[in-house]
Amino acid sequence: MALFSGRSGTAQPEIFAILDVGSSKVVCFIGQQEENTGVRILGAGYQASAGLKAGAVVDMEAAEHTIRHAVEKAERAAGFAIQSVIVNVSTRSLKSRHINVETKFSSAEVADKDLRRVIDTAMVEFAEPDQAILHALPLNWTLDGERGIRDPRGMFGSHLGVDMHFVTANVGVLRNLSHCIERCHLRIEGMIASPYAAGEAVLVEDEFDLGVTVIDMGAGITTAAVFRDRTLAFVDAISVGGKNVTSDIARGLTTPWEAAERIKTIYGSALESPGDDGQTVPCPPMGAEDELHQEPLSALTSIVRSRAEETFEILRDRFKAAGIGDFAGRRIVLTGGAAQLSGAVQLAEYIFGKRVRVGRPHGLFGLPDTMTGPDFAVAAGLIKHVFQEKREAISGPPDLSGRRIRQRRYAGGNVVRSFKWFKDNF
């Protein structure tokens, strides 16, 4: 697969490029796997977003312009042009579906072909025309009703079952995103759920093993991923982010949006502190004829806190409804620009009742200093993901045709759809 042109005319199959298409910025990384050391970034660039909202294209021309600029910056830094990218998906339609499938198999010993057939059956059974499958992960195998089998190959039995985890997103949103990227003359090599990528960038081995939840707090959207037994077990997304906090401040303190954004990063906190009493925040006026006014710091904190609290509470309730509970381990890692909000960690600890930390990307070399914060976790994770060994049943770009996969024939076996998978299994 020749991805690149330029560079002495030779194909560099081990070089890949990624795009993190966000509501506030678009990031492009070009990276290469280095033997025994990890991924080296050859070029990186980002551009403030226009025409993009919560992972969806809302203005094709403006979004195209943004993506082109981000890519050009990375290409200039790398010294060559790219032809294809792996792109993130962070729309609010991002969802997890869990399906349990069981089929009979003829030979006594489980072989690769039996695994493939059970997974194929699950894929057929899943098919929903308006949802594209981004990831298909076998979480757990069963053999003649025996649960918890990590790898059934070479074992004996007659009925093989699998708990499949499908991560899906709305086909229409993905079509627009891919159309926009193709207008920039870039081919899409793959699409990866944002919180999945963020996890791969920031988590450490113990967290992957023991179970952990990653919450990527962006400008327009907050997405979450639960990892367990080193596998992605659940994702969710809500279209609330840092931009909502800024809008609340602008409205609450009667100040322009840009001023509210600045006030948020300088004075904003999700927690009151003892010294806050009597302190004020300078707020620029809305119109030219008004004057700068002072507002109590406590008013700002209360605005920021209620939005942050609401965001965490919605997620907590969603996790509960999905039956995740303690399945996800005792730790939460926050990524995304909005994770830098003062007091966010403590507030999350209080609401979820878990240990919380902010995650920064690790395991990449040559990343510019300005791109090592939690707001670059998704981009870093996308490029790391490309080079990692996968436990996924499908690869390549998702099928965006919207057609129903034709029911393939298979010999017997019952198929149980379980959307309350966590509740049923733990």
Ligand X SMILES: Nc1ncnc2c1ncn2[C@@H]1O[C@H](COP(=O)(O)OP(=O)(O)OP(=O)(O)O)[C@@H](O)[C@H]1O
| Largest Cα span, the chain | 84
* 22 sits near Mg ion (criterion: CB under 5 A): yes
User: What are the angstrom distances between the C-alpha of 364 and each of 151, 226, 377?
Assistant: 31, 23, 11
Q: Does 268 bind Mg ion (CB under 5 A)?
A: no
| Planar angle of CA 155, 156, 159, nearest 5 degrees | 110
- Partner touching 236 among ligand X, Mg ion, none, CB below 5 to 8 Å by kind: none
Smaller CB distance to ligand X: residue 84 or 342?
Answer: 342
Q: How many residues bind ligand X, per CB under 6 A?
A: 25
- Cα-based distances in Å from 191 to 88, 197, 202, 211, 391: 6, 10, 19, 24, 16
Binding to ligand X by CB under 6 A, coded x per residue (else -) over 224-263, reads -----------------xxx--x--------------x--
* Cα–Cα distance, 119 to 425 (Å, whole number): 19
User: In one letter, which amino acid is 225?
Assistant: A
Judged by CB under 6 A, the residue of 3, 15, 25, 131 near ligand X is: 25
Contact letters for ligand X, residues 316-355 (x by CB under 6 A): --------------------xxx-xx--------------
The item of Mg ion, ligand X, none sharing an interface with residue 57, based on CB under 5 to 8 Å by kind, is none
Contact 332, 354 (CB under 8 A): yes
Among 15, 18, 203, 219, binds ligand X (CB under 6 A): 219
Residue whose pair of structure tokens reads 């990590």 in the numeric block = 150
Task: Please tell me the count of residues contacting Mg ion according to CB under 5 A.
Answer: 2
Told to check if 374 binds Mg ion by CB under 5 A, we report no
Per the structure block, which two tokens stand in for 265? 């990063």
The verdict on 23 binding ligand X (CB under 6 A) reads yes
Non-local CB neighbours of 116 within 8 Å, separated by 6+ positions: none
Contact between residue 45 and residue 74 where contact means Cβ atoms under 8 Å apart: yes
The nearer residue to ligand X, 158 or 265, going by C-beta atoms, is 265
Pick the closer one to ligand X by CB: 89 or 386: 89
Kind of pairing between the strands at 293-296 and 280-283 = antiparallel
The CB-of-261 to ligand X minimum distance in angstroms stands at 6
DSSP class of residue 10 equals: -
For residue 421, what are the CA distances in angstroms to 131, 135, 168, 176, 316? Answer: 19, 17, 16, 31, 17
242 binds Mg ion (CB under 5 A): no
User: Least distance from C-beta 303 to ligand X, angstroms?
Assistant: 13
Is residue 45 close enough to count as binding ligand X by CB under 6 A?
no
- Which of these, 212, 134, 101, lies nearest to 390 by C-alpha position? 134
Query: Residue 106: phi, psi to the nearest 5?
Result: -80, -45
Q: Is 359 in the site for ligand X (CB under 6 A)?
A: no
Task: Specify which residues 169 forms β-bridges with.
Answer: 132
Kindly tell me which residue out of 4, 17, 19, 22 binds ligand X, with binding defined by CB under 6 A. 22
What is the enclosing helix (H) or strand (E) of 99? Answer: strand 95-104
Is residue 218 a contact residue for ligand X (CB under 6 A)?
A: yes
Tell me which residue of 360, 333, 337 sits closest to 345, measured CA to CA.
Answer: 333
Stretch that binds ligand X, among 5-13, 94-102, 155-163, 217-225 (CB under 6 A): 217-225
Query: Which tokens belong to 280?
Result: 């004020």
Nearest distance, CB of residue 336 and Mg ion, angstroms: 6
Q: Residue 22 or 211: which CB sits closer to Mg ion?
A: 22
Stretch that binds Mg ion, among 16-24, 159-167, 247-255, 339-347 (CB under 5 A): 16-24
Contacts with Mg ion, residue ranges (CB under 5 A): 22, 218
Per CB under 6 A, residues contacting ligand X are: 22-25, 54-55, 90, 218-221, 241-243, 246, 261, 264-265, 268, 336-338, 340-341, 375
